[in-house]
Amino acid sequence: MAEIFQKEITVMEYECDVQKKLRLSGFMHHAQQMGSDHLAAKGIGYRKMYEDHMVFVVNKLVIQIRRRPEFPEQLKLTTIPKQPKGVQFIRDTIFETISGEALAEVSISWALINPETRRILRPSAFDCYGFQFNPNDGEYITSYKLRRPQGVKTFHQRQIKYSDLDYNGHVNNSVYADIVCDLLPLEWMQQKEVQKLGILYHKEAKPGQVIQIESVPYEMGKGWYFNGRIENSPCFEAEILFD
């Protein structure tokens, strides 16, 4: 039987921004935790996978938002793992109110890697756990790409610090959402509503490294594109779109 996992949460004060709404990184925290909780409930927790020389890392991520929930709303989260495509594992997490109002969807493409060698593993390595996936009909994350727009570039630098890191020893996927938001004009985050955030993760960022970031506004003021590099190698790309 194909797997889904659900739980209820309360939006906490510390997860919210100046508008008392869930930060974009908060959506990412919960989507990641839903995947971890689902696997743990099946006896496939992080420690078990690490002992078996496997961990998941995020490859691509898209958040599509109808409405950001506010403190202290109660939400129902549903996470749906879908059949891998190539080397990409697919997991969608749906955010709803308890009454059923659709709020947001986070779609993530994951790569399975060996934590010692950092080499990507084939999905067949995960077959040992007997995990049942849902059909991947209608998925869009595996083909998600970004194209740099024409426009005036602004350049930034972001050095990686201790608080950016997670238990895999690199910058956690959610930190990139905070980086993007921090580089936007403040009034955009205070006066506009985010409709979509997409991130492509090209290379791990580690302590002490400096990400060189260029930001380019889209035409008609609909959003921004970001390109981050470390020592001339691609690190990440992102786009953020507003209503």
pLDDT tens readout for residues 2-27: 789 999 999 999 999 999 999 999 99
Which residues make beta-bridge pairs with 240?
197, 224
In terms of C-beta density within 10 A (0-12 exposed, 13-18 middle, 19 or more buried), how is residue 115 classed? middle
Q: What is the pLDDT of residue 220?
A: 82
**CATH topology identical between 5-143 and 154-242:** yes
- Of 1.10.645.10, 3.10.129.10, 3.40.50.620, 3.40.640.10, the CATH number of 5-143 is 3.10.129.10
CATH node for 154-242: 3.10.129.10
Q: Summarize pLDDT for 96-120 with one digit per residue, the tens.
A: 999 999 999 999 999 999 999 999 9
| Cis ω before 72 (30° cut-off from 0) | yes
What is the model's pTM? 0.96
Q: What is the CA radius of gyration of the chain?
A: 18
Taking the domains of the chain in order of start, what are their residue ranges?
5-143, 154-242
The bridge status of strand 154-159 relative to strand 210-217 is antiparallel
> pLDDT tens for residues 159-201?
999 999 998 899 999 999 999 999 999 998 998 999 999 999 9
Interatomic CA distance for residues 107 and 105, integer angstroms: 6
pLDDT of residue 1: 56
